């Protein structure tokens, strides 16, 4: 079994070791919501060429189902 390290491409978003599931679970916990990312979710690498090994991603989660009383972000950054 190979150990994960930053020098080897991962199977997550933009060849990182971070997956949609990782981000969704963190956001659900931090925002105290049961809403999940929908089929229209997207990620854009906005840090290309601006960092040595870091990725800076703009996430549009497409929250589903979204409770009208919840204040969930329409987009957020992940590093």
Tally of CA atoms within 13 A in the half-sphere of 70 that contains its CB:
15
Say if 1 falls within a structural domain.
Answer: no
Say if 28 falls within a structural domain.
Answer: yes
Q: For residue 49, what are the domain limits?
A: 13-78
More confident residue, 6 or 14: 14
Over residues 24-38, the mean pLDDT reads: 97
The pairing of beta strand 36-37 with beta strand 42-45: unpaired
Task: Give me the number of domains the chain comprises.
Answer: 1
pLDDT at 36 over 70: yes
Which single residue is written with the structure tokens 């960092």?
51
Say if 35 falls within a structural domain.
Answer: yes
Over residues 38-66, the mean pLDDT reads: 89
What percent of the chain shows pLDDT beyond 70? 87
Say if 7 falls within a structural domain.
Answer: no
Say if 3 falls within a structural domain.
Answer: no
Say if 49 falls within a structural domain.
Answer: yes
The pTM of the full predicted model, rounded to 2 decimals, is 0.82
Say if 55 falls within a structural domain.
Answer: yes
Say if 8 falls within a structural domain.
Answer: no
| The predicted structure's pLDDT at residue 51 | 65
């Amino acid at each position: 079994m190979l150990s994960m390290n930053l020098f080897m491409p991962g199977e997550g978003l933009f060849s990182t070791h971070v997956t949609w599931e990782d981000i969704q679970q963190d956001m659900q916990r931090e925002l105290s919501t049961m809403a999940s990312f929908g089929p229209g979710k997207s990620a854009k690498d906005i840090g290309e060429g601006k960092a040595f090994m870091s990725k800076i991603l703009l996430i549009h989660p497409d929250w589903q189902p979204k409770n009208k009383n919840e204040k969930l972000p329409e987009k957020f950054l992940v590093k």
